[in-house]
A and B are shown apart, each in its own frame.
Chain A
Amino acid sequence: MSTESLRIVWIYPDLLSTYGDRGNLLILARRAADRGIPVETYEVRSDQRMPNSADIYLIGGGEDGPQALAAQRLLADGGLHQAVNQGAAILSICAGYQLLGHSFYAKGAKCAGLGLLDITSDRGETRAVGELRGDIDPRLGLPPLTGFENHGGRTHLGAHAAPLARVTGGIGNDGQTEGAWAGKILGTYSHGPALARNPAIADLLLRWSTGADRLTPLDDTWSERLRNERLAAASPAV
């Protein structure tokens, strides 16, 4: 950690906060605080400088126009790139995930992304809407991913990014793989408050940022009930 408190930045809530994206900030802060880890959270608007010294950055989903604008501003600002070079972690969702790649499509035009993840995104023929489920890369040691996806994009991974999960229900990147990760950067099409259904991903980000090998377990009874219900709902019909 760069300071005594864990510092979490929510990137551009004025542009990228389509549906409940605030949840990821609230959940991370809550799970840190419950372990006695001091937390500071920052909501950085698109007309403000992006700090380069935070520990975790969250970037959410949004409509085409705001997505393109967010990419332009983050490229011009440079703060997020510096933060990554200094070892910061990123959780990126949907439009935010796409714009971390080399390029993406918004309003029918190809847009330059930040190049922080080795991915490119284009448009699928159909919109992917519904429950999403996948087995997360075993190297991350996490239980299955569950989420709700709602996107028109398809994402292709380069050699320097690994799929976050193998799809077992829904579409994700292309019906086979879902999301991507490299270093401490995670991306997923599981939209909105993805951490509500995946508290283990929240804890992974906290472990990366604090350097702790393990964290005090929390009472996740309700999260577990929610996960079981949603994982069952995403099962292919038998």
Chain B
Amino acid sequence: MILTVWQLDVTFASGTLAGVTDGMPLIAKVATSVSKTAAALSRAAGRGDGSVIGGWIGLKIDPDLLAHLASGRAVALVSGTNGKTTTTRLTAAAVGVLGRVATNSFGANMPTGHTSALAKEGHTPFAVLEVDEHYLPQVIDQTRPKVVALLNLSRDQLDRAKEVAMMAQLWKTTLAGHPDIRVVANADDPMVVWAASSSPQTTWFSAGQRWHDDSFVCPESGHPIERSGGDWWCTGCPLRRPRPQWVVEDEGVIDPRGDWHLVKLQLPGRVNIGNAATALAVAGEFGVRPIEALPRLSRVASIAGRYAQVDRDGRNIRLLLAKNPASWLEAFDMADQAPTLLSINARDPDGLDTSWLYDVDFSPLRDRPVLITGDRAFDLAVRLQVNHVPFRHVNSFDEALRSVPPGRLEVIANYTAFQDIRAELDRVN
């Protein structure tokens, strides 16, 4: 199979790569071209969107391929537990004011995905990359970014992910070794503020934070963290909320000069105004002004199926992805008071453990008809009973569709459950 890929590639490579690989070592040129070909093959074969396989093969041939591809571009990295994919998409749109941007907008957020994204886009002056929290140190080393955005840190798949405090420590150590990087960080998350405190140049944003359960205890001193209104401070050491330069207020954002800008988005919920504020702050580090970027942000309608709306059989289906307790709370905030389908799996990408269901308060759903499905629907059923939320179990997405009257159906699902439903809807983007 690999041989076939190589043979195809030789005939395919020469014309398409001018500009991307100029000045690269030969091995990197070969790796780039194979990577692009494999991605195209994967898409053509209907086996995937090509966002991982190409990078995987390219990196096998040239382990430094990501560094070679990133060289010469102004790079921004976006990392955190929640909002990475949406913020990356919005940031790429905002930086696009200045010129072409390469980005991994399908959420393939490990080095294979970054490599594929850069190889596919060809030479661009800018790159905005979503980065899995665990891979941030490695991707910083390889892409030498101008800006790193740190969104938030909360519990997420603890059966395999690093615990929250360990992740914050990893970031802190990494940033201490890269004082030249401009950090754009969330002032409302004590874990993020502590992680970013090792960087000499930080721009702070405030987008509000609904989830506080992972930052009761100061990561520096171990003392309790007190909160009042939007403010927070450690009771045992100097760590406290820094004054943010970018602030979400009402339906808009205040910039560092103190000007308020209305943020009109197609994406629902206050959390996305926060994501837009973060995108504006990152783009601001590249010299983009909010007034230039905002029209571009308003054109983003959905991201790899998230927030997508599909009409079928008289039902208007809207897809909301919720991967962990913090993002479930945000999804309830975004969803209309309409029939709601919840779908839960616990496959490898989701984490095998469903305990987090008890970290989510489902009571906001008591005022609407609730349907449940997915591999782990029984876990959800027990949780909803304890929470006094009436529900009905359905065995398939089609059954759910037939069970609700014409009109809006909100679908809230965790990662693989979301992908299953997206597949039912012809992989809607």
Contacts and interface: CB of A to CB of B under 8 A. Distances in A.
A194 to B, nearest CB: 9
A19 B359 contact: yes
Chain B residues touching A, range = 20 to 34
A182 interface: no
Interface in A25-58: 26-27, 30, 45-47
Contacts of B352: 129-130, 148
A210 interface: no
B220 to A, nearest CB: 12
Contact of A20 (B160, B165, B358, B387): B358
A229 B224 contact: no
Contacts of A116: none
Main secondary structure on A side of the interface with B: mixed
4 tightest A-B contacts by CB?
A192-B355, A23-B358, A20-B355, A20-B358
Nearest to A197: B382
- Among A45, A65, A192, the most chain B Cβ lie within 10 Å of the Cβ of A192
A15 B217 contact: yes
Given A14-B216, A20-B359, A23-B358, A148 B379 contact: no
B213 A17 contact: yes
Contacts of A30: 385-386
B155 interface: yes
A226 interface: yes
Nearest to A229: B378
Contacts, number: 82
B423 interface: no
Interface in B374-418: 378-379, 381-383, 385-387
B379 A196 contact: yes
A129 B379 CA distance: 18
A113 interface: no
Contacts of A193: 355, 357-358
A225 B381 contact: yes
- Among B352, B353, B379, the most chain A Cβ lie within 10 Å of the Cβ of B353
A7 interface: no
A223 interface: yes
Nearest to A147: B355
29 contacts: A15-B216, A15-B217, A17-B213, A19-B155, A20-B357, A22-B359, A23-B358, A46-B224, A47-B224, A63-B165, A65-B165, A65-B222, A66-B217, A69-B222, A129-B159, A129-B160, A129-B352, A148-B354, A150-B159, A193-B355, A193-B358, A196-B383, A196-B386, A222-B378, A222-B382, A225-B378, A225-B381, A226-B381, A226-B382
- Among B216, B359, B382, the most chain A Cβ lie within 10 Å of the Cβ of B382
Nearest to B224: A47
Interface string A145-161: 00010100000000000
B388 to A, nearest CB: 8
Given A226-B378, A226-B379, A23 B385 contact: no
Contact of A223 (B155, B359, B382, B387): B382
Interface of A: 14-15, 17-23, 26-27, 30, 45-47, 63, 65-66, 69, 129-130, 148, 150, 191-193, 196-197, 222-223, 225-226, 229
A220 to B, nearest CB: 9
B380 to A, nearest CB: 9
A63 B224 contact: no
A75 to B, nearest CB: 16
Contacts of B382: 196-197, 222-223, 226
A66 B355 CA distance: 19
- Among A20, A23, A30, A69, the most chain B Cβ lie within 10 Å of the Cβ of A20
A229 B359 CA distance: 22
Nearest to A31: B386
A27 B386 CA distance: 6
B217 A26 contact: no
A70 B69 CA distance: 49
Contacts of A191: 353, 355
Nearest to A224: B378
B192 to A, nearest CB: 18
Contact of B385 (A45, A192, A222): A222
Contacts of A27: 386
A133 to B, nearest CB: 15
Given A17-B213, A20-B356, A69-B222, A150 B381 contact: no
A63 B353 contact: no
B158 interface: yes
Contacts of A15: 216-217
Nearest to A131: B352
A23 B386 contact: yes
B62 to A, nearest CB: 34
Interface string B152-180: 00010011100101000000000000000
Contacts of A65: 165, 222
A151 to B, nearest CB: 11
A197 B383 CA distance: 10
Given A45-B216, A222-B381, A226-B381, 7 more contacts: A19-B355, A19-B356, A20-B355, A20-B358, A23-B386, A150-B159, A197-B382
